[in-house]
Structure 1
Amino acid sequence: MEQGNPVDFGIDDPVHQNREIRRACDACRKRKRKCDGPVRSHVNDSKCVHCSRYNLDCTYTDHVPTQKGPPKGYLEMVEQRCGRLEQLLKQAVPDIDLDEYVGPPIDPETFDIVDYKVHMASLSIPPYPAVKPLSQTPPYTATNPLPSDIPSPESEFPLDQVITNTKASSAPSDVADPEELVLVKHTSRLQVVDRQWRYHGKPSPVYLVLQLQELRRQLGLSNLFDEMNNSKRDRIWEIPQWEIDMAEEGMCPIEWAEWPEEGLDKLLINSYFDHVAVYVLLLNRVIFEGQYDRGLWRTNRAYAQVCLAVFACGAKFVSDPRVKMPDDTGGYHPYSAGWKYMRVLLRTGYNFLQSPSLYSLQKTVLICQFFQGSSTVPHTLPVISSLGLRSSEELGIHVRQLLHHVDPVERELYTRAFWCLYHIDRYNCTFVGRSVAMRDCDFDIEYPKDVDDEYWQLGFKQSEEKVSRVAVFIQTCKLDRIVGRIMQTFYTVESSSQPVVSLRRAADELSADLDVWTEELPSVLHWDNERGDYRIFQQAAALRTYFHYCKILIYRPFISSSGNHTKNDPLETCLSASYSISDILSACLHRGRRESCQPGHSLDISYILPVWCSGMIILASLLHKTHSTDEYEQALFHVKVLLAASKDIEVVWRQCGKVTDFLTHLVKEAGEWRTMGGGEGMEGGEDDMRGTVRATLSSLFSPPPLDRRAQDRDSFGSWMRFRNFETHVMGMSSDRLEGQSSEANAGTFASGHLGPDLFNSWA
């Protein structure tokens, strides 16, 4: 039923006719939402659906200003100005076909906005203000369109369509059409209802059909897919309506009442780009803000979900109480910033039957960034990021040749989304000790372009005088590749059965790869604690910290329980890397104070893992090797620096408070460790107490004993005691609610399973 068309209810009296209202009510106009007031005004309650649901007064008292058109002659002058610009452009580039870059001429008599947008998308013309870059590549044709994935504000078209054109694309001339595109060209002849693009890899049986078609072609036979299109049973091939409808199940409307007010929304967006989008680059700020200003969030649900995720992430660095949730005392929960927007986003629902899109990938990245420092869900991030990577596979964006056939702007947005998911997966898999979701041999997508957002519309040419914000993210992704090989080599289930000699050889090779990475690193991104540009200072600090963390990951499995340590011993290597991380964090904290950063804004949440590992390595070394008094004081100083860094991160991210508690307790206890050896502390002989401490510590680094099941039971028991401690502190023990004891039931399960160790269970 169209809005504004009165419904005949058989009521003809003048009273009801006078009540007919042809505009939205005051509440709906304020929220800028669709109102059915013109329809519901005929019934007795005279309330629209929105006001009835939320028990609001459905009034029409606010003054509605009369909409005025443009001044006289305005449109004529705009047309003349565009005409002059076209003539000047043709003088500069005589051979240019303007219709391919700005769209066909507009006839006011026959103009249709929907058809025109479809035609613009078929020419691969991005929404304004983005422009299609000039190139020698022929444009897409209207008969074989490749719609843009960046819709205009009113667009309701899906963001991902079947890639059907291989002749006209932005791909380099030396890039041949991959078999995947050949497959798409043939299967598109089947003309089924579901035309959603889905990637099929080489093991898929559909490639056998493709090979059969090639043999038929060589024999001069007709196209198999054309014949199949004529003989196929439509009732089998067409997706039934109930399955199509099922894709919308569980999807709820957005609660616009929680949308940030005007002014606050821009504050949250700026906060996201200024604080979050410094290390992991996902969105193009120019495109995103342009879409927001044009009101795309009002008409495009997927984009509105991305906005909610941006609000949630940006709220972490905003002191405005409106972004927090109230507590019982009339104040606000200190760590609740952004959760109101994340709750609205999660309430919109998720359906596995819906096909992935660019916006869904971006939403996944932003959700992971928000949950990174939460207290209860960081262990789920590998699951969420792996879903995002699998979704990228379904779209086929992990294949370079396929992505070359996409509009350059879309291609770069997809590339950023993929590498963000890749980085989040690598980082969090080391966090919780799980295998990565995608191996490096499973994709060949290029790194993001080393170009800032504002240069995209200039042919992706970065200013030579400016270091792009993307440069550090590219180098981080290169380190992520090394992290993946480290995890595959040393931290798999079967790695403990590998010969130590081969593992040490692999460690040296990976360490050499880190050295090569350092040599190839642009000089402007090398760590310098006196660098003037604060943004580059922050990025270089995070990059160098990640480098040292990778060094710890390589040599941590080889730390021996022996008390004899040489200069090149793995423990010394890890200790040196930990000291370097401490020095970097100390410089960041001092620089943050000089830059007048608010508490919690000097260090990113990504530092939490290096802080945790470095602190444990240094503290373990105090029990694991002999120290002179100066060495002992130096180690304790570095731990206190790490503790200060942890406290600073804790101001914004609650999860880091657990690291703070561990380091605080161990720093207090470290003073007692020197008395365990007697005499001059650690330089004395090994008495029984010290031997006991060493025996306990060696289990962190030594290979597993032959009696693995006995070790499993001990590890599980320690884990269960820690979990009891954690749940009682947080008041979240489900076992207590059921009247059961966690440890009472641990024996049977522990007899055949290994629970997480302390490092993996703290999350």
Structure 2
Amino acid sequence: MSSEEEHSPLASDSQAKRRTRRPYRSCDSCRHRKTRCDGLYIDGVITKCSHCLEFGLSCTYVKPVGQRGPKSKLVEELKQRIATLESKLRSLSICSICTQPLQGRPSRPSSPSIFQGTPKSDTTSTDGDQPPPEEDTTQDELVDRFRQLNVAGVGRTKLFATSSSYGLLGSALDEREKYLGRPPVQPVTLHSRRPLYWELLPWEKEVYDEQPSYVYPPRDLIASLLELYFANVHPTFPLLHRRSFVRSVAEGLHLTDTKFGATLLAVLALASRYSDDHRVLIDGKTSLSSGWKFVAQVQVVRKKLDVTIHDLQFYCLMTLLSSGTSAPQNCRLYLGIGLCFLEYRNQHYRPGEGQKFEDELWNRAFWSLFALDRMVCAFLGRPASIHLEDYKVEPPLEVDDEYWDDGITQPLGTPSASSFSVCISRLSEIMGDALRRLYSSEKRKTRMGRTGTDWEQSAVAELDSAMNAFLDSIPPHLRWDPERTGTFFDQSAILYVQYYYVQITIHRPYIHKKSPLAKPSLSICTGAARSALYIAHIWINRLQRVALPFLLNPVFVSALILLLNFFGSKRAGLAIDKRDLGYVGTALQVLSVAESRCHQSGRLLEMIQELLSSDICCRAPVNEAPSAYDDPSAETPGTALAWNAPPCVLPPARNLGPSAGAIVNEAYAQRLTFAPGMTIEELLAGTTVPDPSTTTSPESTWTNSVLDDEIMSMWMAAPTDLM
């Protein structure tokens, strides 16, 4: 083309027509106003539309495009046509599966979960003629399509996933219909099904249809145990909805629904640990048998996978209950079955449907199972079973049980006890991240390229940064305050003890490794252990009750950390801060109160006693602590710490605020110098521990408990490109 042709008006108009293309949709502002958008796409640049220019708005195309459904008139016509066809088929006796009623498909909310990360925004296409990408077949669509391919008597099939073999079958059927020039068949039907292979066989049906028969305690005992459960377990393990559960019991649902009955028996078994009624015990047995006769009636593995919310609730409760029995390893079995039931129900592939009552119960069950998974795996040293990135689930609603009947809305300005669930879920997420990064096998670390000291420092620093961010996000009514009372005191204590437990979990692998992380990790672990036991000391003296594993496990680990530090200091010939023995005494107190009803607590107690029985501790044998169920008037205020260790010098409560992070004693926070290959004794040798008799003030010692600025800056410099 000549230069004259290039600059001619006709050529310019032709080029403009080729370059200028309308976006495939209106801008976000015009879409919101539902007005025509005149924005243009010229030379790869989006030009603002007249409306955005006039009002000074940002002309963007980031909001996702909602797909419009069919017109209501068309839907009605299709329904009438389907009804007519079904009627004809029934009259001709051609299709037996059409005798089942049509099922409506649930709608999906568009709001993403805050636990799923930042959603991807839509980007403007570079080609105006290119249509938006077609969505893949979703999980629910696949389930609906194969809804009829189920075995009679077993229930609808829920095992179809887009990656399953049936997903490939769906693709093959689509190709067949395209070849035949017909629309896809919804749902898939087989016109020749042999009953032998599609109906439950008689000898199997006899087993699957067997209904258990449960024996329930008297009504007055059920009522008292329910009160104990919702007072002692529910605040820090919010699995059930109190009003609906109690109402169902009052209406006798457990007498007709055996699955709800099994859940009720598990609730009664847990509550029995807090009851002094002799009817909860097995005749002639000790208090360790509390509630066992209730839950022993329930079959561990169900013979029929017809999952309801009561099934998942039962396995959550059994996981918590079995962790306190003589075979605590069985809690992994219940946890695994609960996870299988959750997957079978397909709850992890579809987001919650608004704020429906049952959906929120399933949501609560998921997060309860999630927290239990982290607790059990961290304590037993097993890899986590639930990975949050594989699930589409909303965080727990911060709405108390009493407001569920009024549209599930929390009144403005009213602190919610359900905020505890959100905090524990986030803390459990950090715990799972730490277990996967720091405790995975060397083979996995090598395959993922996560090796070397630099990577370890970056990983620990990022986890510490996440812990600090979590601490700052705790709502005011759950921040630690020893003067707090009621449910919020209980929740705050458990939340902060769990926080320090996660902190110990992050740094514990390095206190005995030849690593530059060893020195600061030892200081952080000992400080976190003291803080956890300090809170546990206030909690047990305030409530005097059996603790759940969410408190028992951190207390035991914290005591071991302090004893490890104690023996390392003795071996290095250093002075001993005898206050640590007082903190260990708190652990013994908590375990002693729980051992009469929780079998594992007795074992943990004797493990610590064995460590303390050494001559270097210079102490008398541990006496039996008073039971939480004895007459409190027979106990004098000084005997709760029932062993002859030095008195526990506790730090002032105000210095345990959330802004402090991990509280580290000044004796262990001198200027840190470390090198690779240092043992615990060498680490401790670089620390000067003051003689307790010359310490001027415990308060001043605790107030100055911070790490060196240089070390703290290293921990706070968390990278953002770790994963």
TM class by smaller structure = 0.5 to 0.7
CA contact (8 A) 1:213 1:224 kept: yes
Distance 2:109 2:101 in 1: 17
Give the count of matched residue pairs.
504
- Equivalent residue, structure 1, for 2:582: 637
Letter in 1 for 2:542: R
Give the Cα–Cα distance (whole angstroms) in 2 for the partners of residues 190 and 234 of structure 1: 12
Structure 1 equivalent of residue 650 of structure 2:
none
8 Å Cα contact 2:545-2:593 kept in structure 1: yes
Number of the residue aligned with 1:619: 563
Secondary structure of the residue aligned to 1:617 is: helix
Provide the residue aligned with 2:28 in structure 1: none
Q: 1:438 aligns with which of 386, 400, 404?
A: 386
Which runs of 5 or more residues in structure 1 are unaligned? 1-137, 145-160, 593-598, 675-682, 684-693, 699-763
User: Which amino acid letter does the alignment assign opposite residue 642 of structure 1?
Assistant: A
- Paired residue type of 1:351: R
Q: What residue in structure 2 maps to residue 38 of structure 1?
A: none
Aligned counterpart for 2:367 among listed residues 406, 419, 431: 419
Q: 2:554 aligns to what?
A: 610
Asked whether the 8 Å contact 2:537–2:586 carries over to 1, the reply is yes
Q: Is the 8 A contact 2:383 2:440 kept in 1?
A: yes
Corresponding residue number in structure 2 for 1:507: 460
**CA shift for structure 1 position 576:** 0.6
Mark the CA change 1:373 to 1:571 in structure 2 (over 3 Å): closer, same or farther: same
Residues 466/650 of structure 1: CA separation in 2 closer, same or farther (3 Å cut): farther
Give the TM-score, by structure 1 length.
0.60
Aligned to 2:344: 394
- In structure 2, the residue matched to 1:360 is 311
- The AA in structure 2 aligned to 1:392 is L
Task: State the match for 1:522 in structure 2.
Answer: 475
Other-structure match for 2:494:
542
Instruction: Report if the CA contact (8 A) 1:324-1:338 is conserved.
Output: yes
1:311 is aligned, of 268, 275, 281, to: 268
Report which structure shows greater RCO (CA 8 Å, sep ≥6): 2
3-state SS, counterpart of residue 199 of structure 2:
coil
Question: 1:641, CA displacement in angstroms?
Answer: 2.0
Residues 412-491 of structure 1 mapped to structure 2, 5 A cutoff: 412-491=360-439
Question: What per-residue deviation string (whole Å, max 9, x for no partner) do you get for residues 135-181 of structure 1?
Answer: xxx9x99999xxxxxxxxxxxxxxxx999422x64745999997122
Is residue 2:258 matched to residue 1:301?
yes
Question: CA separation in 2, counterparts of 1:558 and 1:252?
Answer: 53
Q: Percent identity?
A: 23
* In structure 1, C-alpha distance between the alignment counterparts of 2:337 and 2:513, rounded to whole Å: 40
Superposition RMSD in Å: 3.5
Partner of 1:130: none
In the alignment, which residue of structure 2 is the partner of 1:179? Answer: 138
Q: CA deviation at 1:195?
A: 4.6
Match of 2:130 in 1: none
User: What's the counterpart of residue 63 of structure 2?
Assistant: none
Please say if residues 647 and 657 of structure 1, whose CA atoms lie closer than 8 Å, have aligned partners that are also in contact.
yes
Establish whether residue 254 from structure 1 lines up as the match of residue 205 from structure 2: no
Could you say what secondary structure the match of 1:188 adopts?
coil
- Please state how far the C-alpha of 1:457 moved relative to its aligned partner: 1.5
Task: Indicate if the aligned counterparts of 2:139 and 2:349 stay in contact, CA closer than 8 A.
Answer: no
Pair 1:229-2:189 in alignment: yes
Residue pairs, 1:722-733, within 5 angstroms:
none
Mapped partners of 1:298, 1:585: distance in 2: 41
Among 269, 276, 279, the alignment partner of 2:226 is 269
Paired position in structure 1 for 2:59: none
Q: Check 1:195–1:252 CA distance in 2 against 1; reply closer, same or farther (3 A cut).
A: closer
Residue 199 of structure 1: CA displacement? 4.0
Q: Which runs of 5+ in 2 are unaligned?
A: 1-71, 83-99, 114-134, 620-666, 668-677, 683-723
Q: Deviations over 1:302-321 (max 9, x none)?
A: 11111111111111111010
**What is the CA–CA distance in structure 2 between the aligned matches of 1:284 and 1:468, rounded to whole Å?**
14
Q: Shift of the alpha carbon at 1:465?
A: 4.1
Amino acid at match of 2:473: E
**Alignment counterpart, residue 523 of structure 2, candidates 553, 564, 572:** 572
Given that 2:146 and 2:188 are in contact with CA atoms closer than 8 Å, whether structure 1 keeps it comes out as: no
In the alignment, the residues of structure 2 paired with residue 496 and residue 461 of structure 1 have an alpha-carbon distance, to the nearest angstrom, of: 45
Q: Does 1:165 align with 2:120?
A: no
Distance in structure 1 (CA, Å) of the matches to 2:445 and 2:371: 26
Deviation at residue 463 of structure 1 after TM alignment: 2.4
- Hey, what's the Cα distance between the residues in 2 that align with 1:247 and 1:319? 39
State the alpha-carbon separation in 2 of the partners of residues 696 and 571 from structure 1. Answer: 8
Name the SS for the 1:201 alignment partner.
Answer: coil
Q: Kindly provide the CA deviation profile for residues 588-640 of structure 1, in whole angstroms up to 9, marking residues without a partner as x.
A: 13323xxxxxx434x43321111111111111112224789875212222212
- What secondary structure is seen at the aligned counterpart in 1 of 2:541? helix
Please list, as runs of the form range in 1=range in 2, the aligned pairs for 1:62-211 lying within 5 A after superposition: 164-166=103-105, 169=107, 171=109, 179-188=138-147, 193=152, 195-211=155-171
SS of residue in 1 equivalent to 2:287: coil
- Which amino acid in the other structure matches residue 389 of structure 2? C
1:669 corresponds to which of 614, 617, 642? 614
1:654 is the counterpart of 2:599 = yes
The verdict on how the C-alpha distance between 1:218 and 1:545 changes in structure 2, with shifts beyond 3 A counting, is: same
| 1:741-760 to 2 correspondences below 5 Å | none
User: 2: distance between equivalents of 1:565 and 1:503?
Assistant: 10
The correspondence for 2:327, drawn from 377, 382, 390, is 377
Instruction: Report if aligned partners of 2:592, 2:602 keep a CA contact under 8 Å in 1.
Output: yes
Paired residue type of 1:204: S
| 1:449 CA displacement | 1.0
CA distance in 2, matches of 1:254, 1:323: 19
CA distance in 2, matches of 1:637, 1:431: 24
Amino acid in the other structure paired with 1:516 = A
Deviation at 1:485, TM superposition (A): 1.1
Change (3 A) 1:697 1:492: farther
Contact 1:549–1:577, Cα closer than 8 Å, also in 2:
yes
**Aligned partners of 1:605 and 1:649 also within 8 Å:** no
The 1:351/1:211 distance shift into structure 2, 3 A limit, reads same
C-alpha displacement of 1:335 = 1.3
Mapped partners of 2:258, 2:169: distance in 1: 38
**3-state SS of the aligned residue for 1:441?**
helix
| 1:581 maps onto 2:532 in alignment | yes
What is the SS of the residue equivalent to 2:501? helix
- Greater displacement, 198-207 / 550-559: 198-207
Which moved further from structure 2: 169-178 or 443-452?
169-178
Task: Please give the TM-score of this superposition, normalised by the length of structure 2.
Answer: 0.64
2:524 maps to amino acid: T
**How far apart are residue 493 of structure 1 and its match?**
2.3
Which amino acid in 1 is paired with 2:549? I
Of residues 485-494 and 545-554 in structure 1, the stretch that sits farther from structure 2 once superposed is 485-494
Return the alpha-carbon distance in structure 2 between the equivalents of residues 317 and 217 of structure 1.
Answer: 63
- Counterpart of 1:419, as a letter, is W
Q: How many angstroms does 1:288 deviate by?
A: 0.8
> Which letter does structure 2 place at the counterpart of 1:517?
F
1:345–1:351 CA distance, 2 compared to 1 (3 A): closer
Determine if contact 1:190/1:226 at 8 Å carries over to the other structure: no
2:248 aligned residue: 291
- CA 1:182–1:621 in structure 2 vs 1: closer, same or farther (change >3 Å)? same
CA shift for structure 1 position 325: 1.3
How far apart in 2 are the matches of 1:214 and 1:644? 67
Q: C-alpha deviations, 1:718-737, integer Å up to 9, x for none?
A: xxxxxxxxxxxxxxxxxxxx
